[in-house]
Amino acid sequence: MNGWSSALRRLAGALLASILPADCFLCARILPWRQEGGVCLPCWSTLPWAPGFRPGRGPLDALLWAADYEGPTRRLLRGLKFEDMDYLAQPLGREAAGRLAPLIGPLRPDLVVPVPLHWWRRSRRGFNQAELLARPLARHSGLPLSTRAIARRRAGRRQLGLSRQERLSALYGCYAARTSRVRGLTILLVDDVVTTGATLEACARVLLRAGASGVIGCALTRTPKTF
Ligand SMILES: [Zn+2]
């Protein structure tokens, strides 16, 4: 009898925990059972995905993005980066992979590489958002992923408010690539947001110098006004 009542209590506790109300991050309605990373299904299914493509620019063979950095996608990425909502990365990366597959396929990349954070910033945040987004993207594209192909050696200045040229010079010498991991490969270089393209270009330069045969930039979102 005692065993039954404690089992029932545990079951009741588990049920209660699973139905305790949490609000959708986007519309603030109470979340039902089925949800994607803290976002209700209606909000999730109406995210404004807008995959886009730009051919070669500087060291990049091409640049792809899955959505514009505005509205709900901007709020989700800001939540992911600044409000510890790292669980959003998996469903976002998976959705982006589906949308980008027709663009990525013909470019035939060999390896997915996330843009690295400096170790100091990474340890403060607890994760690298580009890496969290790149993992499901790699899995759904059937490609291997390397987090050690490229490293950020210097923290560098904050980029907010800098022009493209200022960003490029601030990033000079910030990154280093490992020849043994990239030689002869076409790299799909992944970041969360592309604003001027300076970060992706700086990474692409060191990858090419280390022997990569090509680099495709791939951002989950792009800032439409600046890029
Ligand atoms: Zn919602």
What does the alpha-carbon distance between residue 26 and residue 106 come to, in Å, rounded to a whole number? 35
Q: Are residues 4 and 26 in the same domain?
A: yes
Centre of ligand 1 from the C-alpha of residue 135, in Å: 25
Centre of ligand 1 from the C-alpha of residue 124, in Å: 29
Q: Is residue 174 part of a domain?
A: yes
Q: Are residues 94 and 109 in the same domain?
A: yes
Q: Are residues 92 and 162 in the same domain?
A: yes
Query: Which structural domain range is residue 22 located in?
Result: 1-43
Element (H, E) at 170: helix 164-170
Q: Is residue 63 part of a domain?
A: yes
β-bridge mates for residue 187, sequence order: 111, 215
Q: 192 Cβ partners below 8 Å, 6+ apart?
A: 77, 80, 81, 129, 130, 133, 219, 220, 221
Centre of ligand 1 from the C-alpha of residue 46, in Å: 10
User: What tens digit of pLDDT does each residue of 119-128 get?
Assistant: 888 888 899 9
Centre of ligand 1 from the C-alpha of residue 186, in Å: 38
Q: Are residues 39 and 65 in the same domain?
A: no
Residue 187 in tokens: 């790299």
Q: Is residue 92 part of a domain?
A: yes
Q: Are residues 35 and 7 in the same domain?
A: yes
What does the alpha-carbon distance between residue 148 and residue 222 come to, in Å, rounded to a whole number? 25
Q: Are residues 37 and 56 in the same domain?
A: no
Centre of ligand 1 from the C-alpha of residue 34, in Å: 12
Report helix, strand or coil for 152. Answer: strand
Centre of ligand 1 from the C-alpha of residue 70, in Å: 16
Q: Is residue 227 part of a domain?
A: no
DSSP, res 40 = E
Centre of ligand 1 from the C-alpha of residue 89, in Å: 17
166 pLDDT more than 60: yes
Centre of ligand 1 from the C-alpha of residue 47, in Å: 10
Give the distance from CA 195 to its chain's centroid.
14
Q: Are residues 60 and 148 in the same domain?
A: yes
227 pLDDT more than 70: no
Centre of ligand 1 from the C-alpha of residue 74, in Å: 15
Domain count of the fold of the chain: 2
What does the alpha-carbon distance between residue 97 and residue 139 come to, in Å, rounded to a whole number? 9
Centre of ligand 1 from the C-alpha of residue 136, in Å: 23
Q: Are residues 154 and 175 in the same domain?
A: yes
Q: Are residues 10 and 103 in the same domain?
A: no
CATH classification at residue 190: 3.40.50.2020
CB-CB contact of 189 with 160 (8 Å): no
Q: Are residues 55 and 138 in the same domain?
A: yes
Q: Are residues 165 and 184 in the same domain?
A: yes
225 pLDDT more than 90: no
What are the CA-CA distances from residue 106 to residues 62, 102, 110, 112, 165 (Å)?
Answer: 12, 7, 12, 15, 31
Q: Are residues 26 and 58 in the same domain?
A: no
User: What tens digit of pLDDT does each residue of 79-129 get?
Assistant: 999 988 889 999 999 999 999 999 999 999 999 999 999 888 888 889 999
Q: Give the pLDDT of residue 171.
A: 80
